[in-house]
Structure 1
Amino acid sequence: MKQGEGRGGWRARLREDRGSEAIVAAIVTPLMLMLLCMAIAGGRIVTSGAKIDAAAEDAARAASISRTATGAEAEASKAAARSLNDQGIRCASTSVTADTAGLTVPLGQVGTVTVTISCTVPLSDLLLPGVPGSRTMTSQFTSVVDAFRSREG
């Protein structure tokens, strides 16, 4: 008798394992697809957060160079919308609030303007089970008002 042809030889084991590759593929493939989809969703959340941070910076800077509180709020909203649009972020809903108390300090004193942006980023187009339809992300940035720039309290 040749080696490997006995009762416990490798040919007998090969016959017993037939079809196991298909079972492994049926189990592993959906898991790998879910992992890939979760990585894509995580990437969208991380990149959206960074872009919303950048929009908050732009909005705070635009508000800090305004001369009035109402002008600062309008400029912050316009700058945030422009920045989000330029970066390709599509928010289901957006909220921009500006704390413009720094524009009322007397000349020669340093004031700050703080802008907070909330953006609801849709995730439903990823078609992942268990992933919420959207995620609300909030970013805040503070910009210094020039101490010697004239302003209307």
Structure 2
Amino acid sequence: MKHVRSVARWVRTLRSDEGSAAVEAAIVLPALIMFLCMAIAGGRIVTSGAKIDSAAEDAAREASIHRTAGAAQSASRAAAAESLNDQGIKCASTSVSINTSGLSVPVGQVGTVTATVICTVDLSDLLLPGVPGSKTLTSTATSVVDQYRQRGD
């Protein structure tokens, strides 16, 4: 009889769920943390992309209101830098290129200027395996030059 009771006790011990919550947490918690970090990285990339789009639009618009290519180049680079700064974007590296060929079309014809902003966003502070240390984002915007505005040489 004693033997049957000890076997029954042993079976109850095997079926007990003591400690299973700790095991489940140890399995699920790292996956949840990785998911959260991936969501933060994705959010940072999306919001940075929108802000870089805005900087490219600001740069293109600034270039389109100037009469000479030289003035347009310097003003649009300053506008892009100011826009990125105002929006709190800290790029590891930034490049702004402006196509001012639309400023050389004759008065009366429609011309456009195009600004391209390239920004490398730092992701290394997330410390997540599989996420690159940085992501390079590119945005291009075009603005129309007033067809009846005088242009410089």
Match of 2:3 in 1: none
Report Cα offsets for 1:44-85 as digits up to 9, x if no partner. Answer: 000000000000000000000011001111011000000000
Question: 1 CA distance for matches of 2:148 and 2:47?
Answer: 37
Structure 2 unpaired stretches of 5+: 1-6
Question: 1 CA distance for matches of 2:123 and 2:107?
Answer: 47
Question: 1 CA distance for matches of 2:122 and 2:70?
Answer: 31
Match of 1:90 in 2: 90
* Matching of residue 124 in structure 1 with residue 124 in structure 2: yes
Match of 1:151 in 2: 151
* Matching of residue 38 in structure 1 with residue 34 in structure 2: no
Match of 1:27 in 2: 27
Q: Please tell me the root mean square deviation across aligned C-alpha atoms, in Å.
A: 1.8
Structure 1 unpaired stretches of 5+: 1-6
The DSSP-based 3-state class of the residue aligned with 1:93 is: strand
Letter in 2 for 1:116: T
Question: 2 CA distance for matches of 1:19 and 1:97?
Answer: 61
Of Structure 1 and Structure 2, the greater helix share is in: 2
The DSSP-based 3-state class of the residue aligned with 1:144 is: strand
The DSSP-based 3-state class of the residue aligned with 1:58 is: helix
- The size of the alignment, in residue pairs, is 145
Question: 1 CA distance for matches of 2:44 and 2:21?
Answer: 34
Question: 2 CA distance for matches of 1:58 and 1:73?
Answer: 13
1:15 deviates by: 4.8
1:125 deviates by: 1.0
Q: Which moved more, 1:44-53 or 1:12-21?
A: 12-21
Match of 2:4 in 1: none
Match of 1:18 in 2: 18
1:16 deviates by: 2.4
1:128 deviates by: 1.1
